[in-house]
Every structure is written in C-alpha cells, then in structure tokens.
Amino acid sequence: MSITAEGWVVFLLIGLVAGFLASLIVGGGGGLIGCLVSGVIGAFVGGFLFNWFGISLGIESPLVVEIIHATVGAIVVVLLARLIA
C-alpha cells in the first residue's frame, strides 16, 4: 500500500497544525520547521499513546481525531525535548 501525494500533504498539514497548537499550549516556537517537525513526530507519538492506553475520543471526524492525537503527541515531544536539553 502506498500513500498518495495528497495523503502526504494532508499528513504534513496535520503535523503543522498540531505543532502550532502544541507551541501555543506549552509555549515556545521554533518557527514553521520547528512546528512541522514536532507535529509530525507528535503524530506518531500521539497515535501510539492513544492506541497503547486504549483511549477513544468518540469523535466521528477522523481529521479532528488525528489533529488531537498529533497535538497531544507534539506536546509530549516538546516537553520531553525540554527535559533532555
């Protein structure tokens, strides 16, 4: 199974939105690239955490669910990065 170009664009936009929301919540910045990187990594981390703990949000829109997962993951990533640095 391969991902289409549109799928990549949506994935990157979700990461960008999640990174931006995470920077608003926990502070900091990092600009466009920083938000994108934290959001994309956060998408993987958030998806893993929600799946691991069996958390279901009960929201019907998959796009909203993915943005929430990625935002929570990006918050975790940013906070862990601050602990390490």
pLDDT reported for residue 19: 95
Which H or E run includes 59? none
- Which tens digits make up the pLDDT trace of 14-67? 999 999 999 999 987 678 999 999 999 999 999 999 999 999 999 999 999 999
Closest CA to 42 of 3, 77, 67, 14: 77
Residue 1's pLDDT band, with cuts at 50, 70 and 90, is: low
Residue 76 has pLDDT above 90, yes or no: yes
